Amino acid sequence: MTLKDWFETRKEEQHAARPIDPKIDDYIGKLWVKCFNCNAQLPRKELEHHMMVCPECGYHFRINARTRIRQLFDEGTFQEYFENIAPSDPLDFVDTESYTERQQKAKEKTNLNDAVVTGTGKVEGEEIACAIMDFEYMGGSMGSVVGEKVTRIMELAIEKRLPVVTITASGGARMQESALSLMQMAKTSCAVARLNDEKILYINILTDPTYGGVTASFGTIGDIIIAEQGARIGFAGRRVIEQTIRQKLPADFQTAEYLMKHGQLDMICKRSELKETLAKILRLHKH
């Protein structure tokens, strides 16, 4: 490694080192926001104008499903489906808090019934069926509701002959539903198998963070996989791996850039280029 390469790698690693638990848009400053990465003080308005990307260092703030929809779809074209599907508590699960209490709190925080919003809408005029996950709702975890809504939007896409796009942000399966949530991995993947049979284009957009049960099911079996710049993506969590192998992991481990280097992604996109890129891909598959 030449000295220049070394500096280059070091810069990359520093750039890639992200705070472990950055908060999501509604829960950072109302007027001024401090960048999690470069500590720059930014007026909230300016940050919003830059699609919640730090204009100083390019750090992509995590955003919730509603913001994502506003950014991605042509104005007024998004039509939500299946919004009334809501979670129950089949196992009467209680840890330090009951599952129903956690649902209640998450609902108050996000104004959502569960961790995914599904619907149809237009991207530069191209109509798609889409599932957008919300990390703010119980860490974007996948339980029965997420599994059902993702499956239904794919079934709707088959009916309407629309391409499908999923935008994931998830810590993985929802433990409070145990094996039922595990089965959502199978259910959603079976639905993707149908998309394949029907030759319907299926695109994954992976955002920060996408882990566990979502990475190991519908989240990564698209015909094209796009990751948002700087997103962390993996199967096992960093801590679990560190404990298993008893080694420190490289700072850029599991970043989109790292996975790209290992051939796991088709491309990395800046948030500002996402809409344009998606529309281009959609048009190229229409003939």
Contact residues for other proteins, defined by CB under 8 A: 84-88, 90-91, 93-96, 143-145, 147-148, 151, 173-175, 177-187, 189-194, 196-197, 212-213, 215-221, 234-237, 240-241, 244-245, 247, 249, 253-254, 258-259, 262, 264
Give the integer Cα–Cα distance in Å for 275 and 92.
Answer: 42
Distances (CA, A) of 6 to 10, 12, 13, 56, 201: 6, 10, 10, 24, 41
List C-alpha distances in Å: 7 to 16, 27, 38: 14, 35, 19
Amino acid at residue number 87: P
Token pair listed for 1: 């490694």
Question: Measured from the CB atom, is 119 or 234 closer to other proteins?
Answer: 234
CA dihedral 235, 88, 135, 243 (to 10 degrees): -40
- Cβ 213 to other proteins, closest distance in Å? 6
| Least CB distance to other proteins at residue 110 (A) | 17
Spatial separation of the C-alpha atoms in residues 95 and 105, rounded to whole Å: 15
Of 29 and 250, nearer to other proteins (C-beta) is 250
Closest separation in Å from C-beta 222 to other proteins: 10
Which residues on adjacent β-strands are paired with residue 121?
128
Residue closer to other proteins (CB basis): 83 or 124:
83
Classified as helix, coil or strand, 157 is helix
Question: Tokens standing for 133?
Answer: 């996950």
CB of 92 to other proteins, least distance (A): 9
Q: Which is nearer to other proteins, 40 or 183 (CB)?
A: 183
- Residue 93 or 285 with smaller CB distance to other proteins: 93
What is the Cα–Cα distance from 200 to 20, expressed in whole angstroms? 36
